[in-house]
Amino acid sequence: MEKLLAGKCYREVWFGVLVSFFLFFVLLCFDYSTSILDVYHGVDFLVIQHVRPFYIKDSCFGRYIYIHDHLPARFNYDLLANCHSLSTGSKSLSDQGANTSDNMCPHLVNSGLGPQIEKPGKVLANKSWFLTNPYLLEVIFHNKMKTYKCLTNNSNLASAIYVPSYTGLDASLHLWNFDLKVRDASAKDLVNWLSRRPQWKKMWGRDHFFVTGRTSWDFRRTSDNGSDWGTNLRFLPESLNMSMLSVEGSCWRNDLPIPYPTNFHPASDSEVVQWQNRVRKYKRHHLFSFVGAPRPGMQNSIRGKLIDQCQASSNCKFVHCGSPGINCNDPVTVMRVFEKSVYCLQPPGDSHTRRSAFDSLLAGCIPVFFHPATAYTQYLWHLPEKHTKYSVFIPVKEVEDLKEGMIEKTLLGISNEKALAMREEVIRLVPKLVYADPRSRLESEDAFDSALQGILERIENVRKVIREGKDPSTGFADEDWTKFMLAEAPEQ
Ligand SMILES: *[C@@H]1O[C@H](CO)[C@@H](O)[C@H](O)[C@H]1NC(C)=O
Ligand SMILES: *[C@@H]1O[C@H](CO)[C@@H](O)[C@H](O)[C@H]1NC(C)=O
Ligand SMILES: *[C@@H]1O[C@H](CO)[C@@H](O)[C@H](O)[C@H]1NC(C)=O
Ligand SMILES: *[C@@H]1O[C@H](CO)[C@@H](O)[C@H](O)[C@H]1NC(C)=O
Ligand SMILES: *[C@@H]1O[C@H](CO)[C@@H](O)[C@H](O)[C@H]1NC(C)=O
């Protein structure tokens, strides 16, 4: 595989050198004050974009992104204007008995970060902590995109086309509707609009991407049965050609996972460093902890047994999120415990992934995973490939596999040295896992920057395939269930 790629690269470098030479002579005939990029307008960008000629100092080369700003407001801004009809949680607001004042409106402030936390106490830093609703990742991402330093209004020049749709908020209006015509209407409308734009034709949409704060499953209904979950967005032919960044991927390769937003959105590099230093100093009284609720309705949930094991151990702290007076949406409740724990248990919830995994990493608490799809096979752009460097893996295939006392025994078996090294790695990861405040610009790479780098590379690879005259659909949206299978023996 490596060899094959190297061979291809070699050919392309030579091709690039030839093109560069040609352009160099063209340039000699130009007044040097004309923008180098203007010269490119007449050239087929698909061909030359890949290799940056030596005389081009443009740091944005290969990273230009075009925002589909003319997207009709019904796909984004109108949804925010109608925020009183958007649900903040996993239930429909139109349900009878739903509390309609608990809607998305108060969460939209501060560019989608939500209201600033007024009483951070000793648990959070004084600044830059917000009550962030994870579904608003699509709004936060859009706001960050607006100040991205390599934007272009010339879509021919762009390496990627960003579609600023709030696809998850839109879906949430009708996800609970049994009438599939109503549930799927907006998805169809969106792809119809996109595929009729001139930008579509260049790569049949394969350079298009959009972002959502919901899991990919919410757009992956496989049947026409109204009692099945989700819209059919990701199975529409146009949608197959696009990439979607979401907080949890599915088993189709054009769904690409990016971190859940946490409540920390630093406005400067020094705030990140201060936070890292602070987390390093915490005294961790609990060996391990679990913050969450059981899933009595889910037969194959390991949470019940996990909670039993936690409660049976004096080394474990359990916070029951469903119990009265305990608000786990308040980051003070969660972070207080994570900051005092060496290990944080991260069993799957309603789906494989949990935002809590990112809270745990942020708090310098080493996550303990029970399924590879909770993190390892998801966040490939953001987490190290070698998961033993920053986490503990206790694979549990069947609930019965979680033997009594097994969690504590495993964690007690890890040396102090190893634990310290893992924690240091966790703390090192923090800058790349937070979404910095969209109103400021940081020097260090955050989760947004890594996501863009990932998607740009992916699209560049597709371009390469097209240049080589091959079929770009090969592998683009294939099914890959291995991501959700439990490896018998986890790789060390
Ligand atoms: C409805 O939600 C609002 C906002 O979250 C809250 O202040 C209020 O207490 C809730 N009312 C009921 C009856 O739960
Ligand atoms: C936060 O602010 C309070 C009051 O201004 C101050 O006493 C405290 O030291 C600050 N804490 C941190 C961690 O900066
Ligand atoms: C694109 O065009 C809009 C409106 O003409 C302008 O406000 C914006 O600054 C332009 N953006 C770039 C990156 O040139
Ligand atoms: C749709 O799914 C439900 C629940 O799984 C099932 O009871 C029902 O028979 C299905 N309807 C059709 C038309 O297949
Ligand atoms: C998707 O891409 C392929 C080329 O890979 C193209 O033939 C097809 O027409 C595209 N589909 C749509 C709906 O544009």
Consecutive 10-residue runs of the chain (492 residues): their mean pLDDT?
Answer: 36 44 42 37 45 75 97 98 92 76 94 94 89 97 97 97 98 95 98 98 97 97 95 98 98 97 97 97 97 91 95 97 93 97 96 97 98 97 97 92 94 98 98 98 96 98 96 94 72 46
Domains: count for the chain:
3
Domain membership of residue 273 (yes or no) is no
Q: Give the pairing of strands 341-346 and 366-369.
A: parallel
Number of H helices, E strands in the chain: 16, 10
Distance 200 CA to ligand 5 centre (A): 10
Domain edge (last residue) among 10, 27, 58: 58
Angle at alpha carbon of residue 415, lines to 124 and 281, rounded to 5°: 25
Which pTM value belongs to this model? Answer: 0.88
DSSP string over 101-132? TSBSGGGGTGGGT-SBPS--TTTS-SSSBB--
Give 44: exposed, middle or buried? Use CB within 10 Å, 0-12, 13-18, 19+. Answer: exposed
* Among candidate residues 426, 247, 483, the one with its CA nearest the CA of residue 350: 247
* Among candidate residues 149, 159, 258, 157, the one with its CA nearest the CA of residue 208: 159
Domain membership of residue 64 (yes or no) is no
pLDDT of residue 164: 98
Nearest residue by C-alpha to atom 1 in ligand 3 = 153
- Residues in contact with ligand 2 by the CB-under-6-Å rule are 125-126
Distance 278 CA to ligand 2 centre (A): 13
* Among candidate residues 192, 191, 230, 197, the one with its CA nearest the CA of residue 210: 191
SS3 at position 338: helix
Distance 329 CA to ligand 1 centre (A): 14
- Examine the domain organization and report whether 175 and 291 are in the same domain: no
- Examine the domain organization and report whether 473 and 389 are in the same domain: no
Pocket test for ligand 3, best of 153, 156, 162 (most atoms within 8 A of CB): 153
pLDDT of residue 32: 35
Show Cβ contacts of residue 41 under 8 Å, excluding neighbours closer than 6 positions.
154, 156, 157
Domain membership of residue 85 (yes or no) is yes
Q: Is 100 in the pocket of ligand 1 (CB under 6 A)?
A: no
Nearest residue by C-alpha to atom 10 in ligand 3 = 153
- Examine the domain organization and report whether 48 and 162 are in the same domain: no
487: which DSSP letter? P
Distance 448 CA to ligand 2 centre (A): 29
- Examine the domain organization and report whether 101 and 218 are in the same domain: yes
Distance 126 CA to ligand 2 centre (A): 6
Ligand nearest to the CA of 150: 3
Show Cβ contacts of residue 361 under 8 Å, excluding neighbours closer than 6 positions.
367, 390, 426, 429, 430, 433
pLDDT of residue 92: 82
- Examine the domain organization and report whether 342 and 424 are in the same domain: yes
- Examine the domain organization and report whether 54 and 188 are in the same domain: no
Distance 70 CA to ligand 5 centre (A): 22
- Examine the domain organization and report whether 311 and 192 are in the same domain: no
Domain span at 377: 279-433
- Examine the domain organization and report whether 379 and 465 are in the same domain: no
Domain edge (last residue) among 433, 459, 475: 433
Domain membership of residue 490 (yes or no) is no
Domain membership of residue 468 (yes or no) is yes
Contact criterion met (CB below 8 Å) for 128 and 267 = yes
Domain membership of residue 21 (yes or no) is yes
19 — phi, psi (to 5°)? -60, -40
SS3 at position 329: coil
Enumerate the H helices of 29-150 as residue ranges.
Answer: 36-40, 45-48, 77-81, 137-146
Domain membership of residue 441 (yes or no) is no
Pocket test for ligand 4, best of 225, 228, 229 (most atoms within 8 A of CB): 225
- Examine the domain organization and report whether 200 and 330 are in the same domain: no
- Examine the domain organization and report whether 399 and 301 are in the same domain: yes
- Examine the domain organization and report whether 44 and 138 are in the same domain: no
Please identify, by atom number, the ligand 4 atom nearest to the C-alpha of residue 226: 1
- Examine the domain organization and report whether 214 and 95 are in the same domain: yes
Distance (Å, whole) CA 482 – CA 479: 9
Domain edge (last residue) among 392, 410, 433: 433
Please identify, by atom number, the ligand 4 atom nearest to the C-alpha of residue 225: 1
The separation between CA 436 and the C-alpha centre of its own chain, rounded to angstroms, equals 14
Distance 204 CA to ligand 5 centre (A): 5
Domain membership of residue 227 (yes or no) is yes
Contact criterion met (CB below 8 Å) for 392 and 492 = no
pLDDT of residue 215: 97
Distance (Å, whole) CA 259 – CA 408: 28
